[in-house]
Structure 1
């Protein structure tokens, strides 16, 4: 199991899928189940944070783009006068 900071989002999601599959397997010991669950929770939290950061960046880019569009429209309007 790799360190979260060196794993891509996609790799973390694949690992989460693998953990869920292992936990669904009834032959996993209680100790291993607990370890897998703990790892899964850490991965889930990291993925959630990554998604929230990405959403924030997208919103900022959309806001910046909207501001640029408004600035350009204002400039065109003032040039028409």
Structure 2
């Protein structure tokens, strides 16, 4: 594997490939351990990516709520 940062989708594809190899192919114990280790690293990276995405989404929702509150307050002043 190269050192370039993989996208979430690329990591998931590689994980799927690893699972298929472990399930369907005759691989040596050493290769199985290497695949398992790589899979665990990919899994952790995917989890971190998802947590970061969730954090960003929550921040965007909070910002939108603040903007909506400001708009509502501005509209209330105009209506008065």
Residue 53 of structure 2 corresponds to 54
- Give the Å deviation of 1:26: 4.7
Deviations 1:3-59 (A, max 9, x none): 3x5111100000000000001025110000000000000000000000000011001
Q: Can you give the 5+ residue segments of structure 2 that lack an aligned partner in the other structure? A: none
- Number of equivalences: 80
Q: Can you give the 5+ residue segments of structure 1 that lack an aligned partner in the other structure? A: none
| Consecutive aligned runs of 4 or more in structure 1 exceeding 6 Å deviation | none
Q: What TM-score comes out, normalization by structure 1 length?
A: 0.93
Answer with 5-14 or 48-57: which moved more: 5-14
Give the aligned CA root-mean-square deviation in angstroms: 1.1
Q: What TM-score comes out, normalization by structure 2 length?
A: 0.94
